[in-house]
Amino acid sequence: MANRPNAVLDDLLAEALALIVSYWRAALLQLGDVELEAGYGLDVRLGSAGLVVPIALEQCLEQPPRFPPRFPPPRFPPPRFPPRFPPRFPPPRFPPRFPPRFPPRFPPRFPPRFPPRFPPPRFGLSRERADILWRCGRFGVLGEDCRPAGLAGAVDVLGGTGLEPGDRLEVKDARTWAGVAGTFTAVMSDVRVIRDPDEMRRACFEWRRDGETVGYVPTMGYLHEGHLSLVRLAKARCDHGVISIFVNPTQFGPEEDLDRYPRDLEGDLAKAAAAGAEVAYVPEAATVYPPGYQTRVTVPDLAAPLCGASRPVHFGGVATVVTKLLNVVQPDVAVFGEKDYQQLQVVRRLARDLDLPVEIVGGPTVREPDGVAMSSRNAYLSVDQRAQAVCLVAALRQAWERFDAGERDVGALVDEARERISAQPAARVDYVEIRDADTLAAVDTIAGRAVLALAVFFGKTRLIDNTVLGGDRRP
């Protein structure tokens, strides 16, 4: 009799696992919309370190889900007599969470929030696609060839097992599916989209009131790995991560590419959530610049050279919108990419001059495997132009070689870099200059740190790049 309690416990564990496997099978049937076949597997991870239940698809297809399900649930411990009155609310979860949550969630997750926190997205989405995203609670798909409808149905089914935002649903294929081999991961995210500036202020105020810090990355959208590295840097330095997505019209000149600037809000939100952003501030232009708006912020000395010479309105628009965004978000840390070196220096100066209580941090330039700096405008390049764009990073590396060899004459370094770029038939140089790394003042000889900055046209596409000679980072 001494072993009887262990035997009962083993029976209970076997019964609970049978219930879970039955539920997983139902989920896999829903995943049929993504054309899963025998040989796939499903791992459900509850949280970052919770239970992992691997299920082989061929096992699930051999035997359909038990119907009706195995009822009643196990009767150990014995039912309560007399029954609880009034009954416990909300009713216990069925099938039960395994392992159970300790401590229990309070307040309860169900009934669901009403009105819902997030309305369905309305920008550039079909009604069916918007409904899919809505049912999944901002469901982002990482990978290739995942059909969201099937994954959405799977998440609806798996919701009964206690999946929460942040949990992962992995579909693994050891062979090849639709010409692509690998692991396809669908990640539920609850990135909060805010469009009203007052609501954005309140959200950050609540965090700071609790003694928590806020990291912020302003962007114009069409996010790539360069942007996402800045989001991860902000999140690593602070408790919370905020990103803004706003294509600022005041920093584009009349002949520039405002109308054709690439936009992908749906994809941006999924990428931002995967990088760790919790809130996306996505204001409308009429909110940032209401009727009658006439105030501008300028940083004249830093904005005049380099890009400012050929884009005279650009940095006035940048300084103005950055000041407004920093006043709305009021972050502890704001992260800007070093690829836009002149912009970074302008923002640092305006933050000092206007006594803005924010730390401005520069994030390193992220490059493609061939060395070309990542940029949203790379999407405009033809195949031939993209191949020739490697000349920018080649010119920067050549300058470092000459600098390491002892060359300090600015004229010689600039001429060699310009010659290297001009050798490409599609390249048209806007400027190649070396200036003081802090003030951007012109120099004849490099005495300390100096920035070598480039701007080159390939067709109508203008690319920029830079390196700080004597600095810590090399291209």
Catalytically active residues are 227
Name 40's bridge partners.
Answer: 38, 173
Q: What angle do CA 22, 187, 23 make, to 5 degrees?
A: 5
For the chain, the maximum distance between any two Cα atoms, rounded to a whole number of angstroms, is: 94
Rg (CA), the chain: 28
Structure tokens at 280: 């996306």
